[in-house]
C-alpha cells in the first residue's frame, strides 16, 4: 500500500494469469480513504524466470514475480523496480541448463499511476563475456530519500570466482537524483557487503533463500540518509540480517 501526497491510496499486488504476460504488477486505487476502490489496473508486465548460482546453476529463491514500489512524499512521483529478462541477450549456461540473465528494471509515474514510463534497465552489474551468469541481478528494493534521491538496492554475482563450492554474492545500492527514466542518470553505486558471501550457505527453501524482500527506508524529510536491511548467508543454512547507514552524496 502506498499513500500519495493528495491522500489517494494505491494497493499494489502481483497479478498471476490475468494478463497475456502471465505475471503483471497491478494496483487498486481509492480516493476516499478506502471506502471504495477502482477496478484493478496492470501497467507493468514481469518477464522473469529467476536467478541461479553462476557456477553450479542452483536455484535462488528470489521472489522473481515480486517487485518494490516507493512514492516521493513531496512530488507524488511513483517508482517501481523489479527483476526482468526482457533486455538480456546473453545466456547463463550452467550444468542445469541455460537461463536468461536477470536484470533490475525501473519505471516511474508522475500522474498518480495513470501512466508509466517505458521500463529501463538500471543495475550496474558489469558485463562478463567469460561468465555471463555473473551478470545476474536480483531482489531489488526502492526508496526515496528526504532530499528526493531515488535509491535502489540489489544483489549480484560480479565478484564470484570459479570455485564450485563458493558462489560469491554481494549487495549494492544505486542512486539517481534526476531524470531517472534515463538509465545513464543512475551513475553512482555503493557496495554494501564488506566481502562476498556464499549463496550456497543460504537455507534451501525451493532455492537458496535470503528473503522475498529486502528492507530500505529513508530517515525522514529533507535528510540525505537511508537504511537498508538485507540478508547475508553467514554459515551453512544460516541467513543473518544486516543494516548500515548510507549517507547520500
More confident residue, 187 or 80: 80
All three cell numbers of 146: 528526504
CB 224 within 8 A of CB 146: yes
- State the pLDDT at residue 164: 83
pLDDT digits (tens, 9 = 90+) for 44-82: 999 999 999 999 999 999 989 999 999 999 999 999 999
pLDDT-derived band at 121, boundaries 50, 70, 90:
very high
pLDDT digits (tens, 9 = 90+) for 27-38: 999 999 999 999
Give me the number of domains the chain comprises. Answer: 1
Q: What is the pTM of this model?
A: 0.96
Q: Is the pLDDT of residue 221 over 80?
A: no
Mean pLDDT of 81-88: 96
CATH number at residue 38: 2.120.10
- State the pLDDT at residue 72: 95
- State the pLDDT at residue 249: 72
pLDDT digits (tens, 9 = 90+) for 234-245: 999 999 999 999
Containing structural domain, residue 135: 2-247
Amino acid at each position: 500500500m502506498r499513500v500519495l501526497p493528495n491522500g489517494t491510496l494505491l494497493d499494489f499486488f502481483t497479478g498471476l494469469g490475468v494478463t497475456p504476460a502471465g505475471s503483471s504488477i497491478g494496483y487498486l486505487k481509492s480516493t476516499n480513504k478506502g471506502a471504495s476502490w477502482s477496478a484493478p489496473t496492470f501497467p507493468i508486465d514481469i518477464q522473469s524466470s529467476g536467478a541461479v548460482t553462476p557456477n553450479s546453476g542452483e536455484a535462488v529463491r528470489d521472489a522473481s514475480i515480486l517487485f518494490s514500489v516507493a512514492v516521493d512524499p513531496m512530488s507524488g512521483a511513483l517508482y517501481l523496480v523489479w527483476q526482468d529478462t526482457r533486455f538480456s541477450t546473453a545466456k547463463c549456461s550452467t550444468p542445469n541448463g541455460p537461463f536468461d540473465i536477470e536484470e533490475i528494471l525501473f519505471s516511474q509515474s508522475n500522474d498518480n499511476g495513470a501512466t508509466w514510463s517505458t521500463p529501463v534497465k538500471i543495475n550496474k552489474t558489469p558485463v562478463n563475456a567469460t561468465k555471463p551468469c555473473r551478470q545476474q541481478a536480483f531482489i531489488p528494493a526502492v526508496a526515496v530519500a528526504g532530499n528526493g534521491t531515488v535509491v535502489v538496492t540489489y544483489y549480484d554475482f560480479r565478484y564470484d570466482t570459479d570455485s564450485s563450492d563458493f558462489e560469491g554474492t554481494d549487495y549494492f545500492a544505486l542512486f539517481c537524483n534526476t531524470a531517472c527514466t534515463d538509465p545513464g542518470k543512475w551513475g553512482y553505486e555503493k557496495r554494501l557487503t564488506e566481502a562476498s558471501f556464499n549463496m550456497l550457505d543460504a537455507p534451501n527453501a525451493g532455492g537458496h533463500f535470503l528473503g522475498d524482500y529486502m528492507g530500505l527506508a529513508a530517515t525522514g524529510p529533507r535528510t540525505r540518509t537511508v537504511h537498508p536491511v538485507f540478508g547475508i548467508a553467514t554459515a551453512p543454512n544460516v541467513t543473518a540480517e544486516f543494516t548500515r547507514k548510507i549517507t547520500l552524496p
